[in-house]
Amino acid sequence: MSFLELVKARRSVRKYARKPIPREVIDKCLEAARLAPSACNSQPWYFIVVDDEKLKSELTDKAFAGIYSINSFAKKAPVIVAVVTERSKYIACVGGYIRGVGYSLIDIGIACEHFILQAQEEGLGTCWLGWFDEKQVKRILGIPKDKKVDVMISAGYPEGPPAREKTRKSLNEIRRFC
């Protein structure tokens, strides 16, 4: 599969088959994430893979309760990955402050997309999760208060084919040559 075909095939999956994901497959996805570029090579990420059924149940019950219930579909995913934002290198922090840019968030986004694209290559479906109770996630996973969890990823083998075609703006709507 070409890279463009891979990107075209990738979509958010919210229905997962009841099939465990071998840790070797998750490790391939993590290896892709590990190799992502980052500002000043700061690599401000740490991945917590939750595949233990009891812990995953506790995590998803608390993280996706109440106002966060829109993501309750993730409870059925075989794996949840919490992405912990580590402190960036000093130079990246200073540069980000001067420019008003959160480089660590950009870096996390790149690493997560590497993870997600490798997951697609492995036959997995994933979904970015940004709406969850971060305090509960940190408490349950033992993440220090000074760290951030800005993103989680649900992963599993898709239950079936995509429900609908992928829709995006046309190329003419998003680019301009000068």
CATH code for the domain in which residue 94 is found = 3.40.109.10
Is residue 167 one of the residues assigned to a domain? no
* Per-residue pLDDT tens digits for 141-169: 999 988 999 999 999 999 988 877 889 99
176 belongs to a structural domain: no
Residues ≥6 apart with Cβ < 8 Å to 73: 14, 15, 127, 154
| Cα–Cα distance for residue pair 90/44, rounded to 1 Å | 11
Q: pLDDT tens digits, residue range 37-57?
A: 998 899 999 999 999 999 999
135 occurs within a structural domain: yes
Structural domain boundaries enclosing 28:
12-159
Of 46-50, 103-107, 109-113, 136-140, the one with minimum mean pLDDT is 103-107
pTM for this predicted structure: 0.91
Provide the residue type at 52 as one letter. D
Question: Is 7 a member of any domain?
Answer: no
Pairing of strands 148-156, 125-129: antiparallel
Number of domains in the chain: 1
Distance, in Å, from the CA atom of 151 to the CA atom of 38, rounded to the nearest integer, reads 17
